Chains A and B, each alone.
Chain A
Amino acid sequence: MEGYFHSVRLDREKCRGCTNCIKRCPTDAIRVQKGKAKIMDMRCIDCGECIRVCPYHAKVAYTDNLANINTYKYKIALPAPALYGQLKKLSSPEQVYSALRLLGFDEVFDVAKGAEVVSAAVREKLKTTDKHPLISSACPAIMRLIRVRFPELIDNIVDVESPMEVAAAMAKREFSRKNGVSEEEIGAFFITPCPAKVTSIRSPLTRKRSRVDGAISIIEIYGLLTSQLKHGAKLEREDEEISADGLGWANSGGECEAVGKTIKMLAVDGVHNVIRALEEIENNKLSDLDFFEGLACTGGCVGGPLVFENGFVAKSRITTLCASLEKRTIPEAKVEKAMEEGITQSTQKVTPLEVLKLDDDFMKAMRMMEQIEEITARLPGLDCGSCGSPSCRALAEDIVRGSAVELDCIFLLKEKVRHLADEMEGLLKKL
């Protein structure tokens, strides 16, 4: 079932069958059928746009419960850099370590450290690549978007693992060496702002098996964390390793900033904006760029669907925290070691997912396209979504694919009813 595990799901009870999610989905993956939304597994990229726009909170993300960490003897928390934007009056990231320990973790290893190692690895790749631009592999929703909508750009994705994967590997290695325990006994749990990360833990694109064992959403842990911070959680040790370069990855542009200031780069956030930029890359309009960072959420990971705080507030907090960490940096030896050990290297190529294709038979697909044009011309062109498809054109495509009928369009239906009524009336007069 590779590729079809999804974190983003529907709570049928809560769904009212409105048109908010279908209109917003970047891959046209949602339809409303019989009054309920339906997510098409093949197309969904787990970006979480639908979670954000659903007024009834009927779109949910599957994540692990905090209690799940107890299935492992040793538990490591991997906080996403974005976590630090959630908390008020945080003087340093380390304050959060003690709070996480009080919640049951034996160790805390910042994904920001992984981010810094990844930055170094990407920098190396940039020296030898002939792809312009090289595309960041950090955002799992954008990776999946490329797979579905821009398969031609798969080769531009840098073959470096995400900070989460790298951090998990480093954390497990360090912990097992320090404490003389086997890596199998350690569970590494990502504290996630993002459902797509959950999906990439369960069914990774760039390796056979993820080194992360589960993900707990920021929103689940937020309340517990703030109360621990209020009562009891004391600053227990000063870790000199988390740096501005790593932490900055929480914000859009943070990766570019960390990778290098001398390269030509572009950072774009918000999935619909990223789509526009990818269209340009596909058209060779941005071939003077060295590096492209595209993040699905507005503002970057701070704007993830599973965070508590307003993304803009969180973004500003990250910026402030970064400024206070300016002089710190992870020891270079650590970065080099991680790269030597091959922790950063992806071991599997991303495969395209050709779900937009109308048919495998070219002739048939051509005929279907013709029918789509014919039907589209008959539809009102209002893109109202009342039929359950995101636009008139999408309805036409659904009809041709066999999953909808023309009378799903309420305007065509109305016309049909009027026509029938007229006939009845005419008939009545003859009686």
Chain B
Amino acid sequence: MNYQERFPVEAGDFASAGEVSATIKQKLKKIGVAQALVRRVAIVSYEAELNMIIHSLGGEMVLELSPREIRIICDDVGPGIPDISLAMQEGYSTAPESIRMMGFGAGMGLPNISKNVDDLKIKSDPSGTRMEMVFFIA
């Protein structure tokens, strides 16, 4: 049996930035996922959520949970990541000045994500990006 929940994420919605990842964190704590793992998921889902708000045209985040693994899927409707290997480099950012002024867009999003996941799949083209982030439970 799996647990699944979907959360819509709106582009540019800074007012609710971080709410989805906070909800995910809270739920995992309640379900009893090990604290250190909850923390990794929290870091990753926060970065992923912010990426969608800053860079995408909106989409949804899905939390899938089984006794073996936690899976976070981010699906957005574009415009896609032009060069994934560049985006994986620390400090590389395509965020506009206005976003950086808000303290975001330091180019640490994807590097932080890949550092904290057990498995990461990214598929991206101009019609959208799909990221699947997997964490193994012990």
Contact = CB atoms under 8 A, between A and B. Distances in A.
A235 interface: no
Interface stretch (A14-22, A350-358, A419-427): A350-358
Contacts, number: 54
Size category of the B interface is 20 to 34
Given A366-B1, A370-B3, A373-B5, A359 B42 contact: no
A283 B29 contact: no
Interface string A280-300: 001111000000000000000
Contacts of B27: 369
Contacts of B29: 356-357
A365 B32 CA distance: 7
A267 to B, nearest CB: 20
A360 B30 CA distance: 10
A356 B67 contact: no
Contacts of B42: 282-283
A352 B67 CA distance: 23
Given A283-B42, A373-B5, A365 B31 contact: yes
Given A370-B3, A373-B5, A365 B39 contact: no
B45 to A, nearest CB: 9
| Size bracket, chain A contacts | 20 to 34
A358 B30 contact: yes
A427 to B, nearest CB: 42
Contacts of A152: 35-36, 38-39
Contact of B31 (A283, A284, A362): A362
Contact of A369 (B3, B36, B46): B3
A50 B123 CA distance: 50
A3 interface: no
A240 to B, nearest CB: 46
Given A279-B22, A282-B42, A363-B1, A369 B35 contact: no
Nearest to A152: B35
Contacts of A358: 30-32
A357 B1 CA distance: 19
B30 A282 contact: no
Given A151-B35, A152-B35, A362-B31, A284 B43 contact: yes
Nearest to A370: B3
Contacts of A264: none
27 contacts: A151-B35, A152-B36, A152-B39, A279-B25, A283-B25, A283-B39, A283-B46, A284-B39, A284-B43, A284-B112, A285-B46, A352-B35, A356-B29, A357-B29, A357-B32, A358-B30, A358-B31, A359-B32, A362-B31, A363-B1, A365-B30, A365-B31, A366-B3, A366-B65, A367-B1, A369-B31, A397-B30
Interface of A: 151-152, 279, 282-285, 352, 354, 356-360, 362-363, 365-367, 369-370, 373, 397
Given A283-B21, A369-B30, A370-B3, 11 more contacts: A151-B35, A152-B35, A152-B36, A152-B39, A357-B30, A358-B30, A365-B30, A365-B31, A366-B31, A369-B3, A369-B27
